[in-house]
Chains A and B, each alone.
Chain A
Amino acid sequence: MSENDVFCEKVIKELNKVINDPQTTVQSFEIISVPFKQNKSPVRVVDNHLGIESWCLKYVYQYAHRFIINQRRINRYPSLTIVKYLNCAILINPDVATFWNIRRHLVERVQLNLTQEFHFSALVLSKKPKSSEAFFYRRWLYSFQSGEAIDLAVEISLCERCAERKNGNYHAWNHRQWCLQKSPNLLPYEIIKTEKFIRKNVADYSAYYHRHFVLMRLFDLQYFDIHDTNLNELYQFVNANCSLSDDSKINNMNDLALHLLPNISLQSINANKLNSFLYVLNLIIHDLIMMNELTQMHGKYEAFNCYRRIIIKLAIDICRLVNSSNYLMSETFIKNINTVTSQNETGVTQSQIIDVFVKQLDFQDGKNIKFAELFY
């Protein structure tokens, strides 16, 4: 063994001691830039934060990489001794699928502990919040756990942290949507959480995309909040935009439903579906107001207009759906609004609200853009 190899062994051993130490649960890992060789250990631990100095990376990573590849050449399913080299190599460079696959083999043969693996992948995400491999790995690990043991709320807060550290973090939002597909009961919390996130990260288009997804899912699931039946924003919007005379201003839900759904008899409909429709529509109006507010505060960002456009489209879609088909009558559960609206039944009676939205779609920055014609 050369002097270099001894040094690398030492660093890898020290790193693993910190990671596996039951006393300190390390929260974050990072590379500290120290360009010149120091005469002390490059591993630093302060208050549960682990760091490694950059000057040693080139030796340590090369050594660990060589060791892993050699082992794998000898034996396709390496033994547990390889884990410490894997830990080190993945932390330094999380983008090598081979390393993660060796871990998977070890998990499958029950040689690695699931809880520790969750912790390790979270540590990798603290170093590289955009690591798709780490997110894949976590999803794969969940397939070994029984339904009740999965705490997806924890998973969502991990996604939130990662999205905050790197804007436009597609992998984190994608993972979050996977969590929500698994556990739709978390969807209502997303309304508050994403609004907070958007106000903090105004130009993060991924967050807007996610919010649109949440709105769509809420409608698909016919969700509404029993404790929050406040539709004020919707009343105001309808009253302001639908050119109603003063004495016919809408102030109760029955009138609102009659106005929005002129051709539907309200006696025979599914109340859940109606409530959910109004709830989601109110949220969309709320978001439109929020976009105006943000534009005033921050000036013009592309994201504001794009989001505005897509939620108006969503509003038109759901209004059409509810008005046109026998959607409100049937008890059946329609999974996806897109499949229904794309049929585009002929002879649809237009509701006034749809025209209002189409007008909103065209009106942007004081210019008339004919987006509506492109869509419809």
Chain B
Amino acid sequence: MVKIYAISIFYKSANEAKILKSHYDLQSFSFFQRGSVQEFIQFASKTIVERTSPCTRQSVKQDVYMCHVYVRSDNLAAVLIADHEYPGRVAHTLLTKIMDDFAAKVSSPEWPNGTEQTINFTQLPAYIAKYQDPREADPLTKMQNDLDETKIILKNTIEQVLIRGEKLDDLVSQSEELSAQSKAFYKTAKKTNSCCNFS
């Protein structure tokens, strides 16, 4: 499916990534899964931003999802989670545009101590709604032709983004942001390929 699920903006400080703003479109998930999915998106976005160095673009594939991330040299970062059918080139130009817009509206001294409540930036829902159709981005991509696609690092799983020695299972079980429900969801989601399963 050609779909954007979430966009979030982070500030990457020396030891962790702080979320500044995020928005989700999870209508395509079944009702009781949405909460867990949202937690996971948040968790994965944060994890990936923390492991991406400044001035880098990455696209990380996890199952049928793609996490596109761009960390700017001034430590502002944005993550776009989409389906793998959503064109990566469009996703990355969109990230650039969103961060330019964000930086213009919110001054940089606010970034290090900002939270989702204090930051006044309400454009994300409109971005998600508009760019669900990648054709909307056409003039935008022409403008951004200088985006060198070869500079986007492609990773096939989240595991490949992790620092040596880290394991995704451990990160999930140690995480304080994920509820018990979501951790259970993560465990069963890994097993869904087995055939004799009602869910």
Contacts and interface: CB of A to CB of B under 8 A. Distances in A.
A33 B28 contact: no
Contact of B30 (A30, A61, A200, A201): A30
B32 A32 contact: yes
Given A30-B32, A199-B133, A35 B1 contact: no
A175 B2 CA distance: 24
A202 B1 CA distance: 7
Contacts of A47: 31
Given A35-B184, A35-B188, A297-B135, A28 B85 contact: no
Interface residues of B, number: 22
A93 interface: yes
B87 interface: yes
A200 B198 contact: no
A54 B2 contact: no
B2 A33 contact: no
A273 B71 CA distance: 60
B133 to A, nearest CB: 7
Given A92-B198, A297-B135, A33 B185 contact: yes
A68 interface: no
Interface residues of A, number: 29
A93 B198 contact: yes
A35 B189 CA distance: 12
Interface in A28-77: 28, 30-36, 44, 46-47, 49, 51, 54, 57, 61
Interface in B130-152: 133-135
Interface in A76-110: 92-93
A93 B30 CA distance: 17
A203 interface: yes
A199 B135 CA distance: 10
B85 A61 contact: no
Which one of B32, B87, B184, B187 has the highest number of Cβ atoms from chain A below 10 Å of its Cβ?
Answer: B32
A164 interface: yes
A297 B32 contact: no
Given A28-B31, A51-B31, A57-B198, A297 B185 contact: no
A298 B33 CA distance: 29
Interface string B148-161: 00000000000000
Contacts of A325: none
B199 interface: yes
B92 interface: no
A167 interface: yes
A10 interface: no
Q: Helix, strand, loop or mixed for chain B's interface?
A: helix
A182 interface: no
Nearest to B86: A298
A298 B87 contact: yes
Contacts of A299: 87
Interface in A17-32: 28, 30-32
A201 B1 contact: yes
A183 B185 CA distance: 43
B57 interface: no
Contacts of A35: 184, 187-188
Nearest to B135: A297
A54 B33 CA distance: 13
Which one of A34, A93, A164, A297 has the highest number of Cβ atoms from chain B below 10 Å of its Cβ?
Answer: A297
A34 B188 CA distance: 9
A165 interface: yes
Contacts of A54: 188, 198-199
Given A54-B188, A201-B1, A201-B2, A31 B198 contact: yes
B2 A199 contact: yes
Contacts of B30: 28, 30
A231 to B, nearest CB: 23
Interface string A107-145: 000000000000000000000000000000000000000
B198 A164 contact: no
Which one of B2, B28, B185 has the highest number of Cβ atoms from chain A below 10 Å of its Cβ?
Answer: B2
Interface in B67-88: 85, 87
Contact of A31 (B85, B90, B133, B199): B199
Given A46-B31, A49-B31, A92-B198, 10 more contacts: A30-B31, A34-B181, A44-B32, A51-B32, A164-B1, A200-B3, A202-B2, A203-B85, A297-B135, A298-B2
Sorted nearest first, the 7 A-B pairs with minimum C-beta distance are: A49-B31, A33-B188, A31-B199, A51-B32, A30-B30, A32-B32, A201-B1
Interface of B: 1-3, 28, 30-33, 85, 87, 90, 133-135, 181, 184-185, 187-189, 198-199
22 contacts: A30-B199, A33-B185, A33-B187, A34-B184, A36-B184, A46-B31, A47-B31, A49-B32, A51-B31, A54-B188, A57-B198, A164-B1, A164-B28, A199-B135, A200-B1, A201-B1, A201-B2, A202-B2, A202-B85, A203-B85, A297-B90, A298-B85
